[in-house]
């Protein structure tokens, strides 16, 4: 196991089309599109028309002719971090990330070719994580105190897909090739104990394109019940020089043996879903597993697989629809256990805990959602959704780094409090 590859992966993550955001299931949004977000993220067996191109491409077969939807999500996270050192009685005041409002775009289109064949196209901001402490007061590297490093992390991920679906009776199957664009930027200040100055660490922006696919299936029993399944492949990305450069100071300090690799792979996903419509009422449930432990970079970072549970409800009456939902996934970021104080492994684990919560606080777990649709006409509708994730607080131990006096150190810890809300809006037009 390469412990040194774990740390700087975690320094680095954030996402949106042009700036930073905080996602929810690990570094993934719970869903893309206002309809799915209003129903807790369900979409494997509940069709949302053209919007379904990302959640389960087989579900685009519900459209009658051609449908286009476009909109976005205004993301409003609140991230506060506190670092404490009990040995020196040196508590550090909480610092709040300035990455507190961001915009995520979404465009989807689906077209019915004939009674059996359907095709679509979509582009979405899908995943990421980041913080901005660049303007926070910088604590000197004194007596083993870490300081906040003026950490700024930014990963942007966007996916482009073209689903092709086939429908016969109640069965729908689909495949969607996916192209992913990503860029990564890490910037922080590493205090220099010899000079007392802060050395800026950053390799500039790194970009890459990756390719993958998703396959989906759904069966409509024609009695209100629909079941669905979906698989999305892993997508490997290489951010040339970004992570290896960020690791340099920790190699120099003897914490890691060598710079880490620059590969960071978005993990494979698989899921099952069911929905049941009874009159004006629709109930839906999705289960999804995100394979962080198998993804390059994340598996070295010791992320745990996530089991994601989503429950959604919709009530349709005349020209309006009300939606409610709940989404839960335990945090993929977990505290790394310590080792004897003299062990270099101990220092690496401590550094991992530190950068997990300072640079990569992917700790949100519970999400409560509400949404609705108003049909302005038979062809045009407006969709809205609001998602709230209450405060999720994590505290990890971060005892002293190797290379510093091992005696006299008390327990250091880092605490991150993560809360978020978002408002999604979407316009849908049927041709």
Mean pLDDT over 2-13 rounds to 33
Question: Which of 113, 227, 232, 235 minimizes the C-alpha distance to 164?
Answer: 113
pLDDT, residue 93, reads 62
H-helix or E-strand containing 425?
strand 412-430
pLDDT, residue 91, reads 53
Measured distance CA(431)–CA(66) in Å, rounded: 5
With b meaning 16 or more CB within 10 Å and e meaning fewer, what string describes 48-69? bbbbbbbbbbbbbbbbeeebbb
User: Is residue 405 predicted with pLDDT exceeding 70?
Assistant: no
DSSP 184-227: EEEEEEEE-TTT-PEEEEE---EEEEEEEEEEEEEEE-SSSEEE
Residue 188 near residue 134, CB atoms below 8 Å: no
Residues in the chain: 431
DSSP 143: T
User: Is residue 181 predicted with pLDDT exceeding 90?
Assistant: yes
Question: Which of 372, 390, 389 minimizes the C-alpha distance to 381?
Answer: 372
| 84 — pLDDT class (breaks 50, 70, 90) | confident
CATH fold of the domain at 4-430: Porin (2.40.160)
Which residues lie below 8 Å from residue 287, measured CB to CB, with a gap of 6+?
271, 272, 273, 307, 308, 309, 310
| 196 — pLDDT class (breaks 50, 70, 90) | low
Tokens of 209: 């394109």
Rg from Cα positions in the chain: 23
| 330 — pLDDT class (breaks 50, 70, 90) | confident
Is the dihedral angle over the CA atoms 199, 255, 414, 331 positive or is it negative?
A: positive
pLDDT, residue 346, reads 53
User: Is residue 138 predicted with pLDDT exceeding 60?
Assistant: no
| 2 — pLDDT class (breaks 50, 70, 90) | very low
Supply the angle between the helices 4-11 and 242-252 in degrees, to the nearest 10: 120
pLDDT digit string (tens) for 228-247?
999 999 999 999 888 788 77
Measured distance CA(151)–CA(132) in Å, rounded: 6
Residue 350 has φ and ψ, to the nearest 5°, of -65, -45
| 341 — pLDDT class (breaks 50, 70, 90) | very low
User: Is residue 291 predicted with pLDDT exceeding 90?
Assistant: yes
Q: What is the distance between the terminal CA atoms of the chain, rounded to a whole angstrom?
A: 55
Question: Which of 4, 3, 9, 38 minimizes the C-alpha distance to 239?
Answer: 9
Mean pLDDT over 55-71 rounds to 95
Measured distance CA(365)–CA(343) in Å, rounded: 33
pLDDT, residue 87, reads 46
């Amino acid at each position: 196991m390469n412990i040194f590859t774990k740390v700087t992966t975690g320094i680095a993550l954030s996402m949106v089309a042009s700036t930073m955001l905080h996602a929810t299931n690990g570094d993934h949004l719970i869903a893309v599109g206002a309809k799915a977000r209003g129903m807790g993220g369900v979409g494997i067996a509940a069709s949302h028309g053209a919007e379904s191109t990302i959640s389960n491409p087989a579900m685009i077969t519900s459209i009658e002719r051609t449908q286009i939807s476009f909109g976005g999500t205004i993301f409003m996270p609140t991230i506060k971090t506190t670092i404490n050192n009990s040995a020196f009685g040196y508590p550090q005041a909480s610092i709040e990330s300035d990455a507190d409002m961001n915009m995520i775009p979404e465009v989807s289109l689906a077209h019915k070719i004939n009674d059996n064949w359907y095709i679509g196209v979509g582009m979405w901001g899908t995943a990421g994580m980041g913080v901005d402490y660049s303007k926070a007061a910088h604590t000197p590297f004194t007596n083993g105190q870490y300081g906040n490093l003026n950490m700024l992390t930014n990963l942007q991920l966007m996916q482009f897909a073209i689903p092709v679906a086939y429908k016969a009776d109640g069965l729908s199957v689909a495949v969607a090739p996916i192209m992913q664009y990503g860029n990564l930027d890490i910037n922080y200040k590493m205090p220099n104990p010899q000079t007392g100055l802060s050395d800026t660490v950053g390799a500039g922006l790194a970009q890459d394109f990756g390719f993958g696919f998703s396959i989906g299936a759904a069966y409509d029993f024609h009695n209100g019940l629909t079941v669905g399944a979906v698989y999305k492949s892993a997508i490997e990305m290489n951010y040339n020089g970004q992570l290896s450069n960020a690791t340099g100071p920790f190699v120099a300090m003897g914490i890691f043996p060598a710079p880490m690799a620059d590969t960071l792979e978005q993990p494979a996903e698989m899921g099952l879903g069911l929905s049941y419509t009874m009159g004006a009422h629709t109930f839906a449930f999705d289960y999804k597993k995100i394979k962080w432990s198998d993804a390059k970079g994340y598996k070295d970072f010791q992320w745990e697989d996530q089991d994601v549970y989503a429950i959604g409800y919709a009530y349709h009456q005349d020209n309006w629809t009300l939606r409610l939902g709940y989404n839960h996934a335990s945090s993929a970021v977990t505290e790394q256990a310590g080792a004897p104080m003299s062990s270099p492994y101990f220092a690496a684990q401590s550094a991992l805990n530190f950068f997990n919560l300072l640079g990569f606080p992917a700790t949100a777990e519970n999400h409560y959602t509400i949404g609705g649709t108003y049909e302005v006409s038979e062809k045009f509708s407006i969709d809205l959704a609001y998602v709230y994730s209450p405060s999720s607080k994590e505290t990890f131990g971060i005892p002293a780094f190797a290379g510093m006096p091992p005696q006299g150190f008390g327990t250091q810890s880092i605490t991150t409090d993560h809360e978020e809300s978002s408002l999604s809006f979407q316009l849908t037009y049927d041709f």
